[in-house]
């Protein structure tokens, strides 16, 4: 659909996140169809964009949820996603989080260490509930991605080595309180090369076969997420080849494939809309100062990530375009959204559209500098609606329990 971003800015103000649910639906359909003929569960990575309306929409399409906190589990349940479609991952689960997940009777807890297995077993015993588990295996494969989002090498904090995993599965098999139903790997995010995935899938599938030989029957083969998207000029992985790589690795095994996409489903279905405040120059350096900032979209500051920035105004009568840094009001030199962006001269009130902002945009936002987080809007079938109100000052201070007037 064609979205009238100018009208949305006038109605809801800026900064403003805008999502296209029709694009999300199409992305989900393409991935699900890639695994046609095989048992599969698309468990959306909630951390990418956890708005309840986004979760509800994906749940209605048939998606499950990959969660990394009990808060995300509760979000998925609140949005109507069934417990048997929810996976709880993460390296540092608290006892109370494990207990809540077991009470919810979710599909499985994904374990990342022997110490964590001990806690899950003890808590399951206390509750009198058998815990369905998977174990995250670290295949020590270089994912060829940004080091901050690489997760499959031995120096990363995620998962356990093959030999450790074998030991954990044997213990789980012999436990009265653990049911080892799954195996999991996730080598990194924003993956644009197929070979690391192929290598990791084969390593983990071979582990499944060796486990079956000793009586540990795995039912869920969780390949994680990480499918890359186009931010600039990346060549992305063909979905048919991706699915074939996974299915070839597990040939002969009776497994349900679990895939945990986040960025792939929502990144390019979202935009951040911002308004120009002023222009300034420091010597030869041109800055365009806008009302969005690093607290709204952290990825450029955190990863030096690129997001295409498009002017939503006709600058043809304003002179030639020239490079400008797009910066926000935050009191940090690292507060930038784009570097050396070719723009015509701008005026106060002009709108800029930041692309590929549907994933890890709002979910990484903060109140730094006591700035309220942006509103969120979705468009579907030609109609747009508000799905999160703009955060007010009162919203920000609501939990602060000792206002000055009470001390006087």
Structure tokens of 142? 């270089």
Q: How many CB atoms lie within 10 A of CB 397?
A: 12
Per-residue model confidence (pLDDT) at position 351: 98
- Indicate the class that CATH gives domain 268-392: mainly beta
Cα(6)–Cα(273) distance, rounded to whole angstroms? Answer: 9
**Does the annotation mark 384 as catalytic?**
no
pLDDT for the residue 110: 97
What pLDDT is attached to residue 269? 98
Which pLDDT value is given to residue 63? Answer: 98
pLDDT, tens digit, for every residue of 136-145? 998 888 655 4
**b/e burial code for range 344-371 (CB count within 10 A of at least 16 → b):** bbbeeebbbbbbbbbbbbbbbbeeeeeb
- Look at residue 377 in the predicted model and tell me its pLDDT: 98
- Of 195, 196, 270, nearest in space to 231 by CA: 270
Domain coordinates in residue numbering, the chain: 35-261, 268-392
Instruction: Give the burial class of 246: count Cβ atoms within 10 A of its Cβ; 0-12 exposed, 13-18 middle, 19 or more buried.
Output: buried
Residue of 259, 331, 379, 384 marked catalytic: 331
Are 270 and 377 in contact by the 8 Å Cβ rule? The answer is no
The second-level CATH assignment, the architecture, of 35-261 is Alpha-Beta Barrel (3.20)
Give kind and range of the element (H or E) at residue 338: strand 336-343
One-character DSSP codes across 285-331: EEEEEES--TTT--HHHHH-----EEE-S--TTS---EEEEEE-SSS
Q: How buried is residue 407: exposed, middle or buried, by Cβ count under 10 Å (0-12/13-18/19+)?
A: exposed
**Angle between the 70-78 and 52-61 helix axes, to the nearest 10 degrees?**
60
pLDDT in tens, the chain (408 residues): 689 999 999 999 999 999 999 999 999 999 999 999 999 999 999 999 999 999 999 999 999 999 999 999 999 999 999 999 999 999 999 999 999 999 999 999 999 999 999 999 999 999 999 999 999 998 888 655 444 434 434 545 578 999 999 999 999 999 999 999 999 999 888 888 899 899 999 999 999 999 999 999 999 999 999 899 999 989 899 999 999 999 999 999 999 999 999 999 999 999 999 999 999 999 999 999 999 999 999 999 998 999 999 999 998 899 999 999 999 999 999 999 999 999 999 999 999 999 999 999 999 999 999 999 999 999 999 999 999 999 999 999 999 987 666 555
């Amino acid at each position: 659909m064609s979205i009238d971003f100018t009208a949305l800015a006038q109605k809801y103000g800026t900064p403003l996140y805008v999502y296209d649910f029709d694009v999300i639906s199409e992305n989900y359909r393409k991935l699900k169809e890639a695994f046609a003929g095989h048992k599969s569960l698309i468990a959306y990575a909630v951390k990418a964009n956890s708005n309840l309306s986004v979760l509800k929409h994906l749940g209605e399409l048939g998606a499950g949820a990959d969660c990394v906190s009990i808060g995300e589990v509760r979000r998925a349940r609140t949005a109507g996603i069934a417990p048997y479609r929810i996976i709880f991952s993460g390296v540092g689960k608290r006892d109370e989080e494990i207990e809540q997940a077991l009470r919810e009777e979710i599909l499985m807890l994904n374990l990342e260490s022997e110490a964590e297995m001990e806690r899950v077993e003890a808590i399951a015993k206390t509750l009198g509930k058998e815990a369905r588990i998977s174990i995250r295996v670290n295949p020590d494969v270089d994912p060829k991605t940004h080091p901050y989002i690489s997760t499959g090498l031995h120096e990363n904090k995620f998962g356990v080595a093959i030999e450790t995993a074998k030991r954990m599965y044997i213990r789980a098999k012999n436990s009265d309180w653990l049911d080892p139903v799954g195996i999991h790997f996730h080598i990194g995010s924003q993956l644009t090369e197929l070979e690391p995935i192929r290598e990791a899938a084969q390593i983990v599938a071979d582990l499944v076969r060796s486990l079956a030989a000793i009586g540990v029957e795995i039912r869920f083969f969780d390949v994680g997420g990480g499918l890359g998207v186009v931010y600039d000029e990346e060549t992305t992985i063909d979905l048919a080849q991706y699915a074939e790589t996974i299915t070839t690795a597990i040939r002969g095994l009776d497994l349900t494939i679990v895939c945990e996409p986040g960025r792939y489903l929502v990144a390019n279905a979202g935009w951040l809309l911002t308004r120009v405040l002023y222009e300034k120059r420091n010597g030869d350096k041109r800055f365009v100062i806008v009302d969005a900032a690093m607290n709204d979209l952290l990825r450029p500051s955190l990863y030096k990530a690129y997001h295409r920035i498009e002017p939503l105004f006709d600058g043809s009568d304003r002179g030639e375009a020239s490079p400008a840094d797009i910066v926000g009001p935050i009191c940090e030199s690292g507060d930038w959204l784009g570097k050396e962006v070719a723009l015509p001269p701008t005026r106060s009130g002009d709108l800029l559209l930041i692309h590929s902002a549907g994933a890890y945009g709002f979910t990484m936002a903060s109140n730094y500098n006591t700035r309220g987080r942006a509103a969120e809007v979705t468009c579907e079938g030609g109609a747009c609606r508000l799905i999160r109100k703009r955060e007010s000052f009162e919203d920000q201070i609501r939990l602060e329990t000792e206002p000055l007037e009470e001390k006087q």
